[in-house]
Amino acid sequence: MRKVTATRYVAPLRSGGSVPGVVEADDLGTYVVKFTGSAQGRKALVAEVIVGELARALGLRFPELVLVHFDPAIADDEPHQEVRDLHGASAGVNLGMDYLPGAKDFTPEVAKDFRVDPLEAGRIVWLDALTANVDRTVHSSNLMVWPTLGTVPPRLWLIDHGAALVFHHRWDGTDPAKAYDFRHHALGHYAPDVRAADAELAPKVTEELLRQVVAEVPDAWLSAEPGFMSPGEVRDAYVAYLHARVQVSSAWLPTDFPSREELAAEEARRAARTQQGRPDWLKRVPDLHGKPAAEQDWSVHLG
């Protein structure tokens, strides 16, 4: 990955728990920076690099990642103490993602009028299943639609893979054939052709490709991993697990996706259960649990 230095702090993004920030850098680029001092820790950044670079290698749209040297002094005007504390704990090298100006969240409202090819949907679902990314749901898609202006057709872009690679939180011999529940995947009702995606992508995920991808992770983000003697050993563990997992894709390939109507009926049943047992005064309070976040336009953060 390229290395840049942050020269101007623009604004924090409060749409996620890690509170990333938009910065300008010395290459004249603008980036969304995820900080090493965030509550999610450095493993979230490791997952971002491995899954994001693997997505790019497989031909999926994913913004460029860069290593951003960040000096907290450039954000001294930040008014919120908790954000300043985050910056103070993140001096040095952090992870930046190329900013997509004007991109919008792929919310259920946007999805109603957006056409997704079943094979493209299948490729994204397949990648998420391979990397155990359980955080791309109908309520939190971690997909962006961009561009949204001009004559170029809007496309889906993948973002935010910090919750993937769940096996690396406990290196306890998790079965590479383990299946995960993807019934509520953000693209599940687009009839994702995961079998065609498996036939296309599985042969490409070679040990050599995995080593190239994992090599992008900075040593400093791997050096304190318990149970390993060196960053090289940690890299070997990622390669071994993902390579073993792709070999048994038939065991974890998700194929059971509910339709839009089934999802709506399930949500209605959940809402009804939530209302039952509430006191009358509380029934008048809107139930916000599980509702999709408001559509997020990244351009507003540039002021």
The closest of 189, 187, 200 to 249, measured between CA atoms, is 200
The rounded distance, in Å, linking the Cα atoms of 301 and 129 is 32
Residue among 33, 56, 54, 60 nearest 45 (CA): 33
| 137-151, 210-224, 252-266, 272-286: segment of lowest average pLDDT | 272-286
Q: What is the pTM of this model?
A: 0.88
* Of 187, 133, 141, residue with least CA distance to 296: 141
Scan for tokens 């693209």, then name that residue: 187
Q: How confident is the model at residue 27 (pLDDT cuts 50, 70, 90)?
A: very high
Q: Are 211 and 239 spatial neighbours (Cβ–Cβ below 8 Å)?
A: yes
Contact 12, 21 (CB under 8 A): yes
Per-residue pLDDT tens for 271-303? 788 777 666 655 555 544 444 434 444 443 343
Indicate if the pLDDT at residue 34 is higher than 50: yes
Domain ranges of the chain: 2-99, 104-252
Neighbours of 131 (CB within 10 A): 20
Residue 214, token pair as written in the block: 């994992």
Contact 104, 80 (CB under 8 A): no
**End-to-end alpha-carbon separation of the chain, Å?**
28
Weakest-pLDDT range from 218-222, 226-230, 237-241, 255-259 = 255-259
Cα(81)–Cα(29) distance, rounded to whole angstroms? 27
Kindly report, residue by residue over 60-83, the tens digit of the pLDDT: 999 999 999 999 999 999 999 999
Burial class (CB in 10 A: 0-12, 13-18, 19+), 268: exposed
pLDDT per position as a tens digit, 150-194? 888 999 999 999 999 999 998 988 999 999 999 999 999 999 999
The crossing angle, in degrees rounded to 10, of helices 194-201 and 118-130 is: 60
